[in-house]
Amino acid sequence: MRKKKVFLIRYAAAIVLLIIAAVQFGLVKTLHISPWKGGGFGMFSTVGSQNSYFIRVYTNSPSGEKIRIFIPEKLGAEEQEIFYLPVRNNFIKFKKDVLKEKWVIGNNKIIELDSVDTCCSNQYKPITIIDVTIELWQYKFNINTSKVYSTLLSEY
Amino acid sequence: MMKNSFFNKINIKQLVLTITLLFFLMNSSKDVYIQLPVSIICLAALIFPDFKLLKITWLCLILIFSIGNTFHYFELDNHKFLYIYWCIAIFACLFSDNFENDLKINAKLLIGFVFAFASLWKIISGDYLNNSFFVFTSITDGRIAGFFGLLHLLSKETIMQNRNAVNYLVNESQPPYQIGLLYTSGIYRIAQFLTYFGLLIEIIISVLFLLPDKISVTKYRDYALIVFLFFTYLVAPVWEFGSILSIIGLAQTDSKKKSAIYVLLFLIMQIYRIHIGRFLFL
């Protein structure tokens, strides 16, 4: 009994650390979370921090053309949730949030109604969006070519 | 003589607990539902010294940090996890007949494993050992690039150009899938040095803290950690990590002189919060 108590006193904190770090390792390998996050002490080990993630959202125009939807700042928090944990639930939640907004189309891009400058409102017309494709991208750096490049991680 | 008597009078247990509480008081979280209860507990424990020796004080801190941070688990910086581990260590040691000795064991293990995982990720990440990480960070992150500007290796314009290139890749409607960044061979050489020095010192710290005390080389563990703390957090913009590591370093050392250095480092970390690199970049 006393041995067990001494063991816990001395090693409980380290055991919790090891468990969390092992779980984080698994999540990085299976769910594409950044090694910087999740308690595994992978910060400063890769260009692939959560800041290297970004999304592109597309819909089809009435003529069938793929058009990018520019996400307004007010959906930034929901967008960030995908970067931190790119799982199906977060994609679905974000998709619902996107579809709730009012959108306008013009200059071959779709933006949120409130983002339109009053000066240019006549260049845009309302559009009803019924479905979107969300692509999760990440930029990486190739030291051999000195180029930063983007790569598609998943889409929903 | 005066200095020695001053250091000898210090009660390390009281000092470690006091600095930990002070640190949590200043920097527990940005979320008010964590910050408020933690501040009240820390203030109470600092005003009434006996309160900091109560198990319930540390149990409450563990619960507040753990439950409060669950809501944004995947957004947390790694030092926030270390806060919880450190509270668990203190809480557990309050059950001990030999608090200081057992806290030393906890502290050494925590430091050893933190650096072991940090080293492991650097080795397996795929873009650390080939210098990609340090080159990219050096030429795009203003907080670090400021030091290179000081050495006349990188102009502010080049950093802005590199940042704009990355933003272009992310934001354009019909994006290019790759875009070039600018840097010099001087930057590459420094990044190469930082890459290998950074990994080497982390491996050394991890090994020195995880080896048993009876192995003579472990007597250098404090020197390795002190050098790491002083130089790393001068550049790396995570002074909070440096602060909590200074506290844990203080808890595990046997030497009063090194204790004083860890306290000094804790104070220096508060200066590092201004992000000296960014200041140079302005």
Q: Do A145 and B178 touch (CB under 8 A)?
A: yes
Classify residue B234: in a domain, yes or no: no
List beta partners, residue A66.
Answer: A60
Average of per-residue pLDDT values in chain A: 88
Q: Kindly report, residue by residue over B25-64, the tens digit of the pLDDT.
A: 999 999 999 999 999 999 999 999 999 999 999 999 999 9
Chain A residues near residue B180 by CB distance under 8 angstroms:
145-148
Q: What is chain A's alpha carbon radius of gyration, rounded to the nearest angstrom? A: 21
Whole-model pTM: value is 0.91
A119 CA: distance to closest CA in chain B (Å): 22
- Region B181-189: mean pLDDT is 88
Tell me which chain A residues have a C-beta less than 8 angstroms from the C-beta of B142: none
Q: Which of A90-99, A116-125, B267-276 holds the top average pLDDT?
A: A90-99
Structural domain including B31 reads: 10-95
Quote the CA–CA distance of A85 and A33 in Å, as a whole number.
6
Residues forming beta bridges with residue A51, ordered by sequence position: none
- Average pLDDT, rounded, for chain B: 90
Minimal Cα distance from B178: which residue of A?
Answer: A149
* Residues 22-51 of chain A whose Cβ lies under 8 A from any Cβ of chain B: 33, 35-48, 50
Residues in B closer than 8 angstroms to A85, CB to CB, are 74
Q: Identify the residue with better confidence: B88 or A74.
A: B88
Min distance A106 CA to chain B CA atoms (Å): 13
Q: Helices marked H in chain B — which ranges?
A: 2-9, 12-27, 32-47, 55-70, 78-93, 99-124, 132-140, 142-150, 156-171, 185-210, 221-235, 239-252, 256-272, 276-281
- A45 C-beta neighbours (distance < 10 Å), count: 28
Q: What is the reported pLDDT for B4?
A: 58
What mean pLDDT do residues B100-124 have? 97
Are the beta carbons of B170 and A54 separated by less than 8 Å? yes
CB contact under 8 A, A37 and B76: yes
Query: Which among B117, B175, B183 has the least Cβ separation from residue A41?
Result: B117
Distances from the Cα of B158 to the Cα of A54, B12, B249, angstroms: 23, 49, 39
Question: Do A148 and B181 lie within an 8 Å CB cutoff?
Answer: yes
DSSP bridge partners of A104: A111, A126
Q: Reply yes or no on whether the pLDDT at B159 is more than 60.
A: yes
Find the radius of gyration of the CA atoms of chain B. 21
Write down the pLDDT at residue B5.
63
Using DSSP bridges, classify how beta strands A53-60 and A125-127 pair: parallel, antiparallel or unpaired.
unpaired
- Residue B2 in any domain: the answer is no
B241: in domain: no
CA–CA distance, B162 with A45 (Å, rounded to integer): 20
End-to-end CA distance of chain A: 53
pLDDT for B150: 62
Spatial strand order in the sheet of A103-106: A125-127, A103-106, A109-112, A66-69, A53-60, A133-142, A147-155, B178-180
For chain A, which residues make up each domain, given as ranges? 1-44, 50-155
Residues of chain B in contact with residue A20, where contact means CB-CB under 8 angstroms, are 81
Dihedral sign computed on CA atoms, order B1, B2, B6, B9: positive
DSSP class of residue A33 equals -
Write the residue in B76, B106, B128 that is nearest to A14 by C-beta: B106
The set of residues, in sequence order, having a beta carbon less than 8 Å from that of B134 and lying 6+ positions away, is B128, B191, B192, B194, B195, B198
Residue B209: CB atoms within 10 A of its CB come to 25
Q: How far apart are alpha carbons B110 and B105 in whole angstroms?
A: 9
Asked casually if ipTM beats, i.e. exceeds, 0.90, the reply is: yes
Are A150 and B178 within 8 A, CB to CB?
yes
Question: What are the φ and ψ backbone dihedral angles of A39, each rounded to 5 degrees?
Answer: 85, 25
Confidence check: pLDDT of A64 > 60: yes
Beta bridge partners of A141: A148
Overall number of domains in chain B:
1
H/E stretch holding A128 reads none
Q: Inform me whether the C-beta atom of residue A89 falls under 8 Å from chain B C-beta atoms.
A: no
Residue B79 with chain A: CB contacts under 8 Å: none
What whole-number percentage of chain B has pLDDT above 70? 91
Q: What is the reported pLDDT for B143?
A: 73
Residue B2 has pLDDT above 60, yes or no: no
Closest partner residue to B92 (CB to CB) among A9, A20, A21 is: A9
Whether B153 maps to a domain, the answer reads no
Q: Best interface-test mutation with A: which of B90, B103, B121 has the largest number of A CBs within 10 A?
A: B121
Q: Which residues of A touch B122 (CB under 8 A)?
A: 44-45
Kindly list the residues from chain B whose CB atom is less than 8 angstroms away from the CB atom of residue A8: 92
Q: Is the pLDDT score of B194 beyond 60?
A: yes
